[in-house]
């Protein structure tokens, strides 16, 4: 059996970030506009701290302004809502991201829906979800947007293809279903109650796994030649005593002999998510100021 094309998410993300930096330079020069992204972290979850740090670094590298707010674990919902109101009113801030998960005393949906929809660069606000669903201009969640770009590396033309997504979360599975529908795919969204999941996934020309279960998707679940996008990030024990490693939701070593193209973990969807966040920040800045979206961002 042959080997699948490995879709290089790191390289594609670097290309997108290069375009984002060019777009930022263009807005600064032509429109005296410096896109600004504010990230709020509540508590001290170690994984969230890593994400927030790398978001800040990438934002600055692209030439944008980065604002970071760290709030203690015991922050009240009211205090967080006040912080968001202040950022909603700040003209230097074009994008607001609240790092999830939030501590138990805070209602995440209430907090997300308090963000100005035009500053909601994660695309999680109910208004943006509704706009996406009804075909109106929306800020679209970053991970699903990245998945579509990755799939396009292998499938320039997706119209008419069977797409199967495993996972129906609001941040990945559901918005991705809508995006692939917009690409004219025939979309199936599978989940924990799906009957005969391998039978369903074997129909897929494009298969996306967004579950959070290490190496769940086996080689024989995949249609030969399919494009496989692995969103999962799972930490499992490594062969070396006491060490861990990251794996996706797909059994990569088996899948690579069946699929036509596949994203690795790490180095696939992960790097694309942050690139799309910065892309969305530029879109938000243009939306709020009336500046045109720089042409270099066309198609991404
Ligand atoms: P959620 O836990 O919100 O959703 C998981 C989905 O998988 C649910 O719809 C659930 O079904 C379904 N599921 C669980 N078990 C099974 C099963 N045995 N068979 C079929 N479906 C199942 O996860 P997220 O969408 O937030 O994230 C999914 C994965 O993607 C995680 O590993 C996460 O770390 C990763 N991720 C990666 C990102 C990146 O940047 N690369 C960004 C976001 C997430 P049901 O609804 O029925 O419970």
- 135 in a domain, yes or no? no
Examine the domain organization and report whether 102 and 159 are in the same domain. no
Q: Is 55 a catalytic residue?
A: yes
Examine the domain organization and report whether 90 and 185 are in the same domain. no
DSSP 167-223: ---TTTHHHHHHHHHHTT-EEEEE-TT-SSHHHHHTT-SEEEE-S--TT-B-GGGS-
Examine the domain organization and report whether 255 and 189 are in the same domain. yes
Out of 148, 169, 174, 272, give the residue to mutate to test ligand 1, the one with the largest number of ligand atoms within 8 Å of its CB. Answer: 169
Examine the domain organization and report whether 195 and 150 are in the same domain. yes
Query: In terms of C-beta density within 10 A (0-12 exposed, 13-18 middle, 19 or more buried), how is residue 68 classed?
Result: middle
Domains held by the chain: number: 2
Examine the domain organization and report whether 206 and 154 are in the same domain. yes
Examine the domain organization and report whether 263 and 280 are in the same domain. no
pLDDT of 127: 98
pTM for this structure?
Answer: 0.97
Examine the domain organization and report whether 61 and 155 are in the same domain. no
Out of 12, 143, 167, 189, give the residue to mutate to test ligand 1, the one with the largest number of ligand atoms within 8 Å of its CB. Answer: 167
Structure tokens at 55: 């978001």
pLDDT tens-digit series, residues 208-244: 999 999 999 999 999 999 999 999 999 999 999 999 9
- 205 in a domain, yes or no? yes
Instruction: State how beta strands 206-209 and 162-166 pair.
Output: parallel
Examine the domain organization and report whether 244 and 287 are in the same domain. no
Examine the domain organization and report whether 145 and 259 are in the same domain. yes
C-alpha of residue 35 to centroid of ligand 1, in Å = 31
Report the 10 Å Cβ neighbour count for 195. 7
Q: Is 99 a catalytic residue?
A: yes
CB within 8 A of 90, min separation 6: which ones?
38
Q: Assign residue 146 the CATH number of its domain.
A: 3.40.50.720
- 107 in a domain, yes or no? yes
Examine the domain organization and report whether 88 and 103 are in the same domain. yes
Examine the domain organization and report whether 109 and 77 are in the same domain. yes
Half-sphere exposure of 111 (CA within 13 A, CB side): 27
pLDDT tens-digit series, residues 2-38: 899 999 999 999 999 999 999 999 999 999 999 999 9
CB within 8 A of 286, min separation 6: which ones?
27, 292, 293
pLDDT in tens, the chain (300 residues): 689 999 999 999 999 999 999 999 999 999 999 999 999 999 999 999 999 999 999 999 999 999 999 999 999 999 999 999 999 999 999 999 999 999 999 999 999 999 999 999 999 999 999 999 999 999 999 999 999 999 999 999 999 999 999 999 999 999 999 999 999 999 999 999 999 999 999 999 999 999 999 999 999 999 999 999 999 999 999 999 999 999 999 999 999 999 999 999 999 999 999 999 999 999 999 999 999 999 999 999
pLDDT of 1: 63
Closest protein CA for atom 48 of ligand 1: 192
Q: Spot the catalytic one: 116, 118, 120, 122.
A: 122
Q: Do 229 and 150 touch, CB atoms closer than 8 A?
A: yes
Q: Is 120 a catalytic residue?
A: no
- 166 in a domain, yes or no? yes
C-alpha of residue 278 to centroid of ligand 1, in Å = 23
- 87 in a domain, yes or no? yes
- 239 in a domain, yes or no? yes
- 92 in a domain, yes or no? yes
Q: Assign residue 54 the CATH number of its domain.
A: 3.40.50.10860
Examine the domain organization and report whether 250 and 287 are in the same domain. no
Owning domain of residue 251: 141-267
Q: Which residues line ligand 1 (CB under 6 A)?
A: 143, 166-169, 171-173, 190-194, 197, 210-213, 231-234, 269-270, 273
């Amino acid at each position: 059996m042959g080997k699948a094309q490995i879709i290089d998410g790191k390289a594609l993300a670097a290309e997108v970030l290069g375009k984002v930096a060019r777009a930022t330079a263009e807005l600064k020069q032509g429109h005296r506009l410096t896109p600004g992204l504010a990230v709020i972290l509540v508590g001290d979850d170690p994984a969230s701290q890593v994400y927030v740090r790398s978001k800040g670094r990438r934002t600055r590298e692209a030439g944008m302004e980065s604002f970071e707010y760290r709030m203690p674990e015991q922050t009240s919902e009211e205090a967080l809502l006040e912080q968001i109101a202040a950022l909603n009113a700040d003209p230097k801030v074009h994008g607001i991201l609240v790092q999830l998960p939030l501590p138990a005393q805070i209602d995440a949906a209430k907090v997300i829906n308090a963000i100005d929809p035009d500053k909601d660069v994660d695309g999680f606000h109910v208004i943006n979800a509704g706009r996406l669903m009804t075909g109106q201009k929306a800020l679209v969640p970053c991970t699903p947007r990245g998945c579509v770009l990755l799939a396009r590396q292998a499938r320039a033309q997706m119209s008419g293809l069977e797409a199967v997504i495993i996972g129906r979360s609001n941040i990945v599975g559901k918005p991705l279903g809508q995006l692939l529908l917009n690409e004219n795919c025939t979309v199936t969204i599978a989940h924990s109650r799906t009957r005969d999941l391998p039978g369903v996934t074997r129909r897929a020309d494009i298969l996306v796994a967004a579950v959070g279960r290490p190496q769940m998707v086996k080689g024989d679940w995949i249609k030969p030649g399919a494009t496989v996008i692995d969103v999962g990030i799972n930490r499992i024990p490594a062969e070396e005593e006491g060490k861990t490693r990251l794996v996706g939701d797909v059994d990569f070593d088996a899948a690579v002999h069946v699929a036509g193209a596949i994203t690795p973990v790490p180095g696939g969807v992960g790097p694309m998510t942050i690139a799309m966040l910065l892309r969305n920040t530029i879109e938000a800045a243009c939306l709020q100021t009336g500046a045109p979206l720089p042409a270099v961002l066309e198609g991404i």
